[in-house]
Amino acid sequence: MVHDSKYGTRDGKSFEESLSNVFRLFREAEQVNIISGSGDTDILCKMKNDKKDIYKINVDAKTTQKILSQINPRRIVYHIGKNGSKYCVIVSPRFARGAKLDIKDQKIVTIEAETLATYCLKECLISSDGMANYDLLDSLISANLGLDITKILMK
């Protein structure tokens, strides 16, 4: 997934595919679908929390060999509403300061691909069932909407 975030296909499909597989590692993932295409999110996930409540999240895969310089929050907010999602997680190799400011006060977070991969690996290795825990990540995201959560997740 980390490699595809930088060096995947030009259309971003390889990154979307590998990122969807990462979200399938979360035991709370009920359904993970690549939607993609114009006018919608890249990946739509149905998640189930520990109370058995179902909610949706959008995941956008942003491929770049360098740094993602800007985000169109208006379009992403539209996608959140269209899908009835709780929020959107944007994953890219790196984010410029301007891109991080673009999401301020929105139901959007950014996270670097390598940090997400490391989190999932650690979670899978320490769990008894080989799956990652999304509840902790959901709590961090919900408490930090409008921010880049890369450094928070690295702690």
How does DSSP assign 72-114, residue by residue?
A: -HHHHHHHHHHHT-S-EEEEES-B-HHHHHHTTTSSEEEEEHH
Among residues of the chain, what percentage have pLDDT more than 70?
Answer: 100
Cα 46–chain centre separation: 13
pLDDT in tens, 74-108: 999 999 999 999 999 999 999 999 999 999 999 99
pLDDT in tens, 17-53: 999 999 999 999 999 999 997 789 999 999 998 888 9
Look at the chain and report how many structural domains it folds into: 1
| CATH code (residue 79) | 3.40.91.30
Q: What is the mean pLDDT of the chain?
A: 94
pLDDT in tens, 107-139: 999 999 999 999 999 999 999 999 999 999 999
| C-beta separation of 94 from 67 below 8 A | yes
Which residues constitute the domain of residue 14?
A: 2-154
Q: What is the pLDDT of residue 8?
A: 77
